[in-house]
Amino acid sequence: MFKKIKILLLIICLITCLGLMSSTYSRYVASAQSDINAQFSKWQILVDSIDVTSNSQSSVNITPIIEENQFIASDTVAPSSKGYFDIIIDPTNVDVSFNYNINLSVLNENIPDLIISKYAILPENYIEGDTLEFIPILNNNITNSLLYNNNEVGFTFNPFTIRIYFEWFEGTNETMNDEADTTIGTLAVNESTVLEMNANITFEQIIE
């Protein structure tokens, strides 16, 4: 009888020890998992205050500014007209280097002399009328890279504005003659022809 009691106590002690070991091991595993902690880099870009990284396609309305010409009605386009439109890009919530590409096009096929000619990146403290550094646009495309500065504590990208210029070219290499220019004016009367341009903007992280 006494021997049976000893065996029973031994079994109880063994079960208790195994339970304590299991509990200790579980706490250790849980602690090890909680110690693994790393943040993901942020990736959110706004174009004219619209988040373009959350959707595969985003639509942004861009309003062109037509330069005043005393011989042409305000806010209309005619031979020799010039103008521009702004694209505001905000990469404040981006933690990686990235490329941006802007593919531009004029959708008015019947106005081949209406061209997208150059662009400028406006300085942070830009005041309308300040001198700008212009960059020619080749093949209707703008491509640039922005590099994340990991050596600067608390580094963040700043919002910036790209100003894109267009003009109704009149000169030696113009495609349209006076008769073609007149035809466009006639169409505008009969069909309310409007200036149509497209800017397709893409962003891509730089991974090496």
pLDDT at position 107 is 74
Write out the H or E segment, with its range, that includes residue 144.
Answer: strand 141-146
Helices within the chain (DSSP H only): 2-34, 178-191
- Which ranges of the chain have pLDDT less than 70? 1-41, 55-59, 108-110, 112, 170-195
Distance CA 132, CA 70 (A): 24
All structural domains of the chain with their residue ranges: 1-37, 43-205
pLDDT at position 106 is 79
pTM, entire model: 0.71
Give Dmax over CA atoms of the chain in angstroms: 122
pLDDT at position 65 is 84
Find residue 161's DSSP bridge partners: 88, 122
pLDDT at position 207 is 78
158-195, pLDDT tens digit by residue?
999 999 998 887 655 555 444 444 444 443 434 445 66
Distance CA 163, CA 141 (A): 13
Nearest to 202 by CA among 48, 41, 58, 42: 58
Q: Which long-range contacts (C-beta less than 8 Å, at least 24 apart) are formed by 176-185?
A: 176/79, 176/111, 176/112, 176/113, 181/78, 181/79, 183/110, 184/110, 184/111, 185/78
3-state secondary structure of 157: coil
Q: What's the one-letter identity of residue 199? A: A
114-133, pLDDT tens digit by residue?
888 999 999 989 999 899 99
